[in-house]
């Protein structure tokens, strides 16, 4: 029997450093505790260049949110020092040392009453699994190894029956609404494996544009925007509030209104859970093409 519902704040791409919008960060600190959420999830890119000061600013922000609710965070492509081990020549751990010093586990799990949230690692820097034929993708694109999707499946398999299963990683699982770009290399394989994990919803970011859609007509995807000045097309920043109930996943967008210095409730997209008809996606790409 599922819990009545669970509500999660979904943030991404804060990019502390030169591009972070402090007015938004400060507004988030006061607004998030009013939303009645059980937890906050940050799907990566806390920093711009994985610098100590950027991580420290993110850490302080997270501590202020954690005064109100648990918070889970995974690293984005900007949060690892890939240049310390390109193509893994000096091992994998060195790339994540600085991030781990501040935020610990790269793949955290958070158990809540009636829900389990699992973090997966999609950010590897310049790595064989993330390479494509497009030079723009070097150190930007991510991938989801089979070992990650099977590890997450095992976590979800062991969760209590009826618990909502939430998966988060950094790279956008659906193509961006403006960019039309996938965040994951080998996305067809990733989609097939994501559908086997048992997740109810994927929370991701990376594209700097909000989105809500489905993979295969059954797995909802929440893509949160950025709170830096680097939005696409000059559009306002957006973060998401994700509510799961027994029947559906509801993805509510909150749009930044810079003149008023506040976030405004915007569109909601609702997707039926397992086995329901495919819903229209503002992020596009609910089927392979």
Q: Rounded to the nearest whole angstrom, what is the least distance from the CB of residue 48 to Fe ion in the complex?
A: 9
Q: Rounded to the nearest whole angstrom, what is the least distance from the CB of residue 130 to Fe ion in the complex?
A: 15
Cα distances (Å, whole numbers) of residue 141 to 4, 127, 136, 184, 219: 37, 9, 9, 6, 22
Q: Which stretch binds Fe ion (CB under 5 A): 12-20, 130-138, 146-154, 211-219?
A: 12-20
Q: Rounded to the nearest whole angstrom, what is the least distance from the CB of residue 268 to Fe ion in the complex?
A: 24
Which residues, other chains included, contact 104 with Cβ-Cβ below 8 Å and sequence gap of 6+? none
* CB nearer to Fe ion: pick between 123 and 149: 123
| Terminal Cα distance for the chain, rounded | 36
Three-state DSSP class for residue 114? coil
- Under the binding rule (CB under 5 A), the answer on residue 218 touching Fe ion is no
* CB nearer to Fe ion: pick between 47 and 269: 47
* CB nearer to Fe ion: pick between 98 and 208: 208
Q: What is the strand order of the sheet 262-272 is part of?
A: 71-73, 39-42, 5-11, 238-245, 248-257, 262-272
Q: Rounded to the nearest whole angstrom, what is the least distance from the CB of residue 257 to Fe ion in the complex?
A: 22
Q: Comparing C-alpha atoms, which of 161, 169, 154, 160 is closest to residue 201?
A: 169
Q: Rounded to the nearest whole angstrom, what is the least distance from the CB of residue 285 to Fe ion in the complex?
A: 19
How many whole angstroms separate alpha carbon 165 and alpha carbon 155? 9
Q: Which stretch binds Fe ion (CB under 5 A): 5-13, 136-144, 167-175, 191-199?
A: 5-13
* CB nearer to Fe ion: pick between 45 and 218: 45
Binds Fe ion (CB under 5 A): choice among 9, 13, 28, 252:
13
Q: Rounded to the nearest whole angstrom, what is the least distance from the CB of residue 45 to Fe ion in the complex?
A: 4
For the chain, the residue count is 289
* CB nearer to Fe ion: pick between 79 and 148: 79
Interface characters, 34-73, with Fe ion (x: CB under 5 A): -----------x----------------------------
* CB nearer to Fe ion: pick between 116 and 238: 238
How many whole angstroms separate alpha carbon 195 and alpha carbon 105? 24
How many whole angstroms separate alpha carbon 256 and alpha carbon 122? 27
Q: Which stretch binds Fe ion (CB under 5 A): 10-18, 20-28, 48-56, 188-196?
A: 10-18
CB 256 within 8 A of CB 263: yes
Q: Comparing C-alpha atoms, which of 253, 241, 149 is closest to residue 199?
A: 149
* CB nearer to Fe ion: pick between 45 and 286: 45
Query: Could you list the residues that contact Fe ion (CB under 5 A)?
Result: 13, 45
């Amino acid at each position: 029997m599922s819990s009545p519902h669970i509500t999660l704040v979904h943030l991404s791409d804060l990019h502390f450093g030169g591009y972070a919008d402090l007015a938004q960060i400060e507004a988030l600190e006061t607004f998030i505790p009013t939303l009645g959420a059980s937890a906050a999830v940050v799907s990566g890119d806390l920093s711009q260049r994985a610098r100590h000061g950027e991580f420290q600013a993110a850490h302080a922000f997270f501590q202020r949110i954690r005064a109100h609710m648990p918070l889970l965070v995974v690293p984005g492509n900007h949060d690892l020092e890939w240049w310390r081990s390109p193509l893994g020549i000096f091992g994998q751990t060195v790339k994540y040392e600085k991030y781990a010093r501040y935020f610990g586990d790269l793949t955290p799990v958070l158990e809540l009453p009636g829900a389990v949230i699992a973090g997966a690692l999609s950010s590897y820097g310049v790595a064989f699994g993330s390479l494509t034929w497009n030079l723009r993708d070097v150190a930007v694109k991510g991938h989801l190894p089979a070992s990650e999707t099977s590890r997450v499946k095992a976590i979800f398999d062991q969760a209590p029956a009826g618990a909502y299963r939430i998966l988060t990683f950094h790279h956008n699982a659906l193509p961006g609404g403006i960019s039309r770009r996938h965040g994951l290399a080998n996305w067809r394989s990733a989609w097939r494996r994501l559908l086997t994990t048992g997740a109810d919803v994927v929370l991701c970011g990376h594209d700097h544009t909000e989105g809500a859609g489905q993979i295969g007509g059954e797995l909802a995807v929440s893509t949160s925007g950025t709170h830096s000045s680097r939005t696409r097309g000059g559009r306002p920043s957006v973060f998401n509030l994700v509510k799961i109930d027994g029947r559906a996943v509801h993805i509510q967008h909150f749009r930044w209104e810079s003149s008023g210095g506040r976030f405004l409730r915007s569109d909601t997209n609702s997707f039926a859970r397992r086995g329901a008809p495919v819903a229209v996606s503002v992020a596009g790409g609910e089927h392979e093409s």
